Structure 1
């Protein structure tokens, strides 16, 4: 069984074509993909969580 890859914030921002500030505003409103905060403060995102979040965004637009 393959492990769900973890993405760094920079990778997610690049994929979303979004600034860090815009992402943190979205996160503060509870509208960002789910993530884990490491002890050093960095964020990690499961690939599946980002994909699920994208699918929910598409559903809202239709």
Structure 2
């Protein structure tokens, strides 16, 4: 199965996290880093986001 690449808006919708929270969590190593998909574009592997979500009872708990 091909791992779908998600853009930031889709990741925000899936997780319920804002842009600033996503990047803050990435800086702290608490959220997966995106893959570069173009010169000025990044995207997250859907499997990475799903794994992160499965490790949390809810995205609210993971915002700490």
Equivalent position of 1:19 in the other structure:
18
The ranges of structure 1 where at least 4 consecutive aligned residues each deviate by more than 4 angstroms after the TM superposition are none
Q: Indicate if the aligned counterparts of 2:35 and 2:42 stay in contact, CA closer than 8 A.
A: yes
**Cα RMSD (Å) of the superposition?**
1.8
Structure 2 gap ranges (5+): none
- Cα distance between partner residues in 2 of 1:39 and 1:47: 17
TM-score of the superposed pair, with normalisation by structure 2: 0.71
1:9-43 alpha-carbon deviations (Å, 9 max, x no partner): 11001111111111111111011124212342322
